[in-house]
Amino acid sequence: MAEKVGTSTQYIGQIEQNKKFPSPEMLERIAEALEVDSPQLFSMETISQDALQQFKEGFKANLGKTIDDLIDKAKILP
């Protein structure tokens, strides 16, 4: 998510933990990355099951790529 919106993982973590509230511009970038309208960020009722499933699949794919990249950089596995 951080890469998609052009910020640090620490900042995204602070948003997730309610320690920071993003600017309107950042909210727009987050909504765009999630492929939702910005008002939908504040209402779980309006997010379709298809959108949630798409988000989960994208998140899993990105997480897998990140893990693979870290392993490659650390040269843990051949």
- Tell me how far apart the alpha carbons of residues 4 and 35 are, in angstroms, rounded to a whole number: 11
pTM listed for this prediction: 0.53
Could you tell me if 1 and 11 are in contact, meaning their C-beta atoms sit under 8 angstroms apart? no
Domain boundaries, the chain: 1-43, 48-78
Could you tell me if 27 and 38 are in contact, meaning their C-beta atoms sit under 8 angstroms apart? yes
Average pLDDT, integer, range 54-58: 81
**In the prediction, which pLDDT does 41 show?**
77
Q: How many CA atoms lie within 13 A of 12 on its CB side?
A: 12
- Tell me how far apart the alpha carbons of residues 8 and 52 are, in angstroms, rounded to a whole number: 23
Dihedral, CA atoms, 42, 43, 46, 48, nearest 10 degrees? 80
> pLDDT digits over 14-54, tens only?
988 889 888 889 989 998 998 888 887 777 666 677 777 88
